[in-house]
Amino acid sequence: MKTKATPAIPLASLADVNDLGKPWRFEDEGFTVTRSSIWSPPGCHPVGCGLKLYVDEDGKLVRVEGDENHPVTQGRLCPRCIALKDYVYNPSRILHPMKRDPKFRGQDDKWEQITWEEAIDLIESEYRRITGQYGRESMIIFTGTGREGGTLLPYATMTFCTPNFCYSQSGYACYTPRLAACAYITGIPYPELDYAAALPGRYDDPEYEVPEVIVLWGKEPLPSNGDGLFGHAVVDLMRRGARLISVDPRVTWLAAHADYHLRLRPGTDTALGLAMIDTIIKEELYDKDFVEYWCYGFEVLAERAAEIPAEKAAEICGIDAEYIKAAARMYATAKPASILWGLAVDQKQNGMQNGQVIVDLMAITGNIDRPGGQVVGDINSGLNEGGFGFEKGIGPELGAKMIGIKEYPGYCNLILNAQADLSLLTLETDEPYPLRMGMYTGNNLMACTSGEPRRWHDAILRSLEFCIAIDCFMTPSAQASCDVFLPLATVVEREGCLFAEYGAAPLYFGACNKAIEPGECRSDLEIAFELGKRLNPHMWEQYDTLLDFINDLRLGNKFDFDTLKTEVTLQQDVSYFKYERGELRRDGQLGFNTPSGRIELYCGAYAQFGDDPLPYYQEPPFSPVSTPELFEEYPFVLTSGARTYAFFHSEHRQIPYLRELNPDPRVEVHPKVAARLGIADGQWCRVYNQFGSAVLKARITQAVDEKTIHAQHGWWFPELDPNDHDENGPYHTFRSNINNLNPNGYMGKIGFGAPYKCMIANIEPLQESWDTDMSLVWDTFGKLV
């Protein structure tokens, strides 16, 4: 793949013209300034925002600024990047390896500092003992959004050589249902909004067209740059004339600026999508040439969509039928148009079908692989990491033992992950075999992503004889269940690289350039490398240095890290209409990388894995319609997990400047509901359903309607008791954890999807108060080391 270094095209209001064109490292008034393109830790999505890191003569990071040379972020930063210094030097950060006797799990005062050599010796001893007795399949690695440019799959495939790499969220309902829908329907990793990220001239490039319409479907990209899309690109495009359609039950800043805000009942998106398809087809607004030459199954899709016309969708979704039709017309007649789809697509039981209707909408309007529509990569797109080391490190015999591969092959084979819900059952039952060793990497499952977190807590303590944590800070999950803690380097303390949006779309590469020394902390890839050399040296014999490994794993030897380091960012080559030139298929034939060579509106892969090949609407498992008797007891639709500017998932709660922005966990309640139930703004409330409860602080707002409540996720309290000795758990992680109300086991037929954003619940005011004492937060975490 050819790449090109490109000059920045900064926004005039943000650029420091004095630093334009500066090298990756330069001197400025006594400071050494390192330009870097960063991603996790601290956590974020893989945008690779451009930073300038100012280091004094003592080698200490003293200031962080946006890098106006970055071709996309152009000097713009979120609060989390601005507070990076407070993260790096936070007094609660763990800077040395530690161990604890397993019989003292949950007790904070039983940790003792050890050397790296001691830590690796202990890990090796336990690994040999446990895998010798139970097999390598007895180890499970819990992962999260990703670090160091990818999902860290080599921990499983090369370091520990276990088939059980697990994102511990029911139905892995974060990004992967959309990826799976794309892969099975189009053969493309991920069709993204084309915001000219890879074009040398950006929005003014002659190849580019500004989209006339952008549909924001279950995505509000401004707070967290979801999936790696730079969220403020939407604002850039609005300034250039793009108009918006928002599909969201909440009123957000972008929804408030949309021409159409389709404020649907949470979980009913697939019905809305089918109605939009039906309107477009009946009114002949589809792209007839694209459908004729590049789509398969159009006629049967038309028949299926006709089963849910706008009038029926109006009843299901709670949106006026004519409003649905008008939005469908606006999208279909815009040339080009693009759809931004987000986490809400995944977080329902039929998330795969929601993804299916959205991909079908992209296809029948001819917006896939065209300028200003959906930008897609060629046959070589996607992380080089995918499957890296799997054949040699695991192989077919051990791979066949991956948890869930028999029941959900369409899940496990596609993403090379153990199925999350079945992994929980295995921890609880030892079926089909026992899990006895574990590791957390980029994962804090008891506070963040896992439904019924107390159930995960109990299952892990029941099953795992030895567990490792790799992180920058002690977390509730590590405190409750781990025996060794390995301190992790931050983005300013290591070298590495990233692919924007995991490499799924053709955007750019970024170099994470080390600015300061990490002390005893080490990066994830460094830990994987050193442990792997000890545990499974045959997997690492070809690599003399960590940089050799990075070049092979991350860059696939397209170019070397030294080249990327000096350029900081390298935009990828991007082209359009690749299906017309045979660039989407490995055999070089025209069309798409599917069995039919077309976009499969009738999807044979879905049928192969036991699902309907056509999209269909499925009512959420708990709703006013599917469980009316329960809805009488829990009369609100609960949605959760909207992102904030202050935090990324469960991270950053110990950063005082960020905590000031959002001191307490919030639940949004409509003013009329609050008046009826006697809830005051700022009052603590109990939110509860048949699975559990959480206490959160009420925010009275019309951002939600009278039938819906919304709760923040990822809450724990690092300033409070770290010990695991009562019902609240370590750091009171179960007190305000909205995942107490989210179940496991309600995924779709292929194994993807979960109803995190469309549950039912009730809410009641409480007289007690748990207001965060910000002076305690400042006293505990405010003095930088």
The pair phi, psi for residue 777, each rounded to 5°, is -60, -45
Kindly report, residue by residue over 406-448, the tens digit of the pLDDT.
999 999 999 999 999 999 999 999 999 999 999 999 999 999 9
- 524-535 and 116-134 are packed helices; what angle lies between their axes, rounded to 10 degrees? 60
User: How many beta carbons lie within 10 A of that of residue 445, not counting itself?
Assistant: 28
Rounded Cα gap, residues 253 and 251, in angstroms: 7
Q: What is the DSSP string of 401-420?
A: TSTTTTT-HHHHHHH----H
Q: Tokens at residue 744, please? A: 């496991």
Q: CB–CB of 362/339 below 8 Å? A: yes
- Cβ neighbours of residue 54 closer than 8 Å, sequence gap 6 or more: 28, 31, 32, 33, 61, 62, 63, 64, 65
Rounded Cα gap, residues 384 and 394, in angstroms: 18
The type of residue at 152 is L
Rounded Cα gap, residues 244 and 330, in angstroms: 10
- Residue 769's pLDDT is 87
Q: CB–CB of 460/466 below 8 Å? A: no
* Nearest in space to 273 (alpha carbons), one of 203, 197, 365: 365
287 has a pLDDT exceeding 60: yes
Kindly report, residue by residue over 135-150, the tens digit of the pLDDT.
999 999 999 887 876 7
Rounded Cα gap, residues 705 and 709, in angstroms: 8
11 has a pLDDT exceeding 70: no
pLDDT bucket at 355, cuts 50 / 70 / 90 = very high
Element (H, E) at 130: helix 116-134
Report the chain's mean pLDDT, rounded to a whole number: 94
User: How many beta carbons lie within 10 A of that of residue 101, not counting itself?
Assistant: 11
Q: Is 409 buried (19+), middle (13-18) or exposed (0-12) by CB count in 10 A?
A: middle
Q: CB–CB of 330/258 below 8 Å? A: no
Greatest CA separation found in the chain? 70
3-class secondary structure for 266-331? CCCHHHHHHHHHHHHHHCCCCCHHHHHHHEECHHHHHHHHCCCCHHHHHHHHCCCHHHHHHHHHHH
685: three-class secondary structure by DSSP:
strand
- Residue 52's pLDDT is 97
| 114-117: Cβ within 8 A, 24+ apart | 116/520, 116/522, 116/530
Work out the average pLDDT over 573-590.
95
- Residue 20's pLDDT is 85
Please tell me which residue, 132 or 448, carries the higher pLDDT value.
132
Give the number of residues written for the chain. 785
pLDDT bucket at 9, cuts 50 / 70 / 90 = very low
Q: CB–CB of 441/147 below 8 Å? A: yes
- Residue 383's pLDDT is 52
8 has a pLDDT exceeding 60: no
Rounded Cα gap, residues 229 and 602, in angstroms: 29
3 has a pLDDT exceeding 60: no
Q: CB–CB of 307/604 below 8 Å? A: no
pLDDT bucket at 757, cuts 50 / 70 / 90 = very high
CA atoms within 13 A on the CB side of 204: 6
C-alpha distances (whole Å) from 139 to each of 142, 433, 519, 539, 612 are 10, 11, 30, 18, 35
- Residue 16's pLDDT is 52
62: three-class secondary structure by DSSP:
strand
384 has a pLDDT exceeding 90: no
- Residue 680's pLDDT is 97
Rounded Cα gap, residues 431 and 244, in angstroms: 49
176: three-class secondary structure by DSSP:
helix
Ranges 103-117, 479-493, 553-567, 577-591: which has the least confidence: 553-567
- Residue 148's pLDDT is 76
Q: Tokens at residue 554, please? A: 């991350």
Peptide bond into 506 cis (omega under 30): no
Name residue 32's beta-bridge partners: 27, 55
Kindly report, residue by residue over 299-349, the tens digit of the pLDDT.
999 999 999 999 999 999 999 999 999 999 999 999 999 999 999 999 999
Rounded Cα gap, residues 591 and 186, in angstroms: 10
- Residue 15's pLDDT is 41
The type of residue at 749 is K
- 351-364 and 298-305 are packed helices; what angle lies between their axes, rounded to 10 degrees? 120
What is the pTM (predicted TM-score) of this model?
0.95
Instruction: Provide the total of helices (H) and of strands (E) in the chain, helices listed first.
Output: 28, 29
- Residue 18's pLDDT is 67
Kindly report, residue by residue over 386-398, the tens digit of the pLDDT.
678 899 999 999 9
Rounded Cα gap, residues 353 and 177, in angstroms: 9
Work out the average pLDDT over 500-508.
86
Peptide bond into 41 cis (omega under 30): yes
Work out the average pLDDT over 695-720.
97
C-alpha distances (whole Å) from 276 to each of 215, 260, 310 are 12, 13, 7
Q: CB–CB of 709/667 below 8 Å? A: yes
Q: CB–CB of 750/180 below 8 Å? A: yes
168 has a pLDDT exceeding 50: yes
- Residue 591's pLDDT is 97
656 has a pLDDT exceeding 90: yes
237: three-class secondary structure by DSSP:
helix
C-alpha distances (whole Å) from 484 to each of 92, 437, 441, 454, 711 are 17, 12, 13, 21, 33
Peptide bond into 336 cis (omega under 30): yes
The region that residue 715 occupies, defined by phi over 0 for left and psi between -120 and 50 for alpha, beta otherwise, is beta
Strands (E), 644-712: 666-669, 684-688, 693-700, 708-711
Name residue 139's beta-bridge partners: 437
Q: Tokens at residue 80, please? A: 């989390």
Q: Tokens at residue 234, please? A: 């939407």
718 has a pLDDT exceeding 60: yes
Q: What does the buried/exposed string (b/e) look like for 768-778 if buried means 16 or more CB atoms within 10 Å of the residue's CB? A: eebebeeeebe
* Nearest in space to 81 (alpha carbons), one of 629, 649, 646: 646
